[in-house]
Structure 1
Amino acid sequence: MKAPLIVALTLAVAAAGCSTLDRSLPSRTSSFIPNTQLRLTPGYTTTPEKLIYFAGAAYVAYLVLDPMAPNWEIEEAKLSDDTYFLGMKKMRTRAGGEGEARMVFRRRAEQLARAGGFAGYDIVSYSEGIQSDLIAQRVGEGVVQLRRGMQ
């Protein structure tokens, strides 16, 4: 209910702001970005063009590095009622992680056991390594069998 109201208000404010803009288009020899100086601090001035370049570079860096993304991507396949295959890939842009794959594998196995009401799990097979592409990537995979029994 609130979302359509917020969208409508945002559009109204944007339309009101557009009505105060100079509507003349720049000539073929000029730029859309004004040739002015912006004083950011008393000792530093820059141009809007440089700010746009820096903002664009920062946005691209954020898309590539994404600090909020999880380090590991886990793909799982249910092989039977109590058996799962877990395939894991670490983000290519993060360094380190030696020994981390097994911990992530065990954590996911524990989550599957708890969610299904199982007493625990057994690791049927497990392997990890580095996949060599243009940028190397840590990988791990294994099969987990969930144990029934008393908790």
Structure 2
Amino acid sequence: MGLTGCAQERLTSAEIAREGAAVAGSALLLSDSSLGVSAANAATGTGATAATASTPTSAPISHLGLLRQLGGAALVAYALYDPLAPNWTITVQPESEAVVRLVLTMRSLTTGGNGESWRIFQRAAQKVTEQRDAKSYQLLSYEEGVESTRPFAQRYAVGTLRLVY
């Protein structure tokens, strides 16, 4: 009974088997309050099932339900963050036959990558130069900053190139 972490006094072997690995895995995540143990019960040494008229106790939480909620929250966080998505999106805007404008925008939710815009811009400029069969490029302008949009700020970098043929 101690390993299952349940707030019930006695469990049958079928109940223990039904909870299974979910109970053992979630035992580390649970606190006394989630098991229905109040401060009054902890002080007197009684469990969550011993309810007195003066101290109400909370209902025990199903460990399987708790794991489902945590899994759902993790799935929502993964969908919002998406760690496999690239940090920067690059847009190539031709202004004339020899002049190209590169616009880099960083995704809103990211961990790190704040100082890499110049290196990514250089790689993108080199790639555009190779794709258009130019010998090299000449940097006409470059600007980077942070656009304060709501709910999240977004880094950007903008540069203009003249392709040398």
What's the TM-score once normalised by structure 2's chain length?
Answer: 0.60
In the TM superposition, what is the alpha-carbon distance from 1:115 to its structure 2 partner?
1.3
Deviates more, 1:89-98 or 1:110-119: 89-98
Partner of 2:71: 55
Q: Is the 8 A contact 1:37 1:48 kept in 2?
A: no
**Aligned-CA RMSD value:** 2.3
Gaps of 5+ in 2: 1-16, 27-61
- Is structure 2 residue 113 aligned with structure 1 residue 97? yes
Count of aligned pairs between the two proteins: 113
What's the TM-score once normalised by structure 1's chain length?
Answer: 0.65
- Is structure 2 residue 155 aligned with structure 1 residue 138? yes
Q: Is the 8 A contact 2:23 2:64 kept in 1?
A: no
- Is structure 2 residue 120 aligned with structure 1 residue 107? no
- Is structure 2 residue 132 aligned with structure 1 residue 116? yes
User: Would the alpha carbon gap of residues 44 and 125 (structure 1) be closer, same or farther in structure 2, given more than 3 Å must change?
Assistant: closer
Q: Distance in 2 between matches of 1:122 and 1:56?
A: 50
Partner of 2:41: none
Q: Is the 8 A contact 1:128 1:139 kept in 2?
A: yes
AA aligned to 1:107 is R
AA aligned to 1:129 is G
Q: Distance in 1 between matches of 2:134 and 2:120?
A: 19
- Report the identity percentage: 30
Q: Is the 8 A contact 1:128 1:141 kept in 2?
A: yes
Q: Is the 8 A contact 2:23 2:63 kept in 1?
A: no
Gaps of 5+ in 1: 1-35
In the TM superposition, what is the alpha-carbon distance from 1:42 to its structure 2 partner?
7.6
What does 1:1-150 align with in structure 2 at a 5 Å threshold?
37-40=18-21, 43-44=24-25, 47-134=63-150, 135-148=152-165
Q: Distance in 2 between matches of 1:128 and 1:94?
A: 17
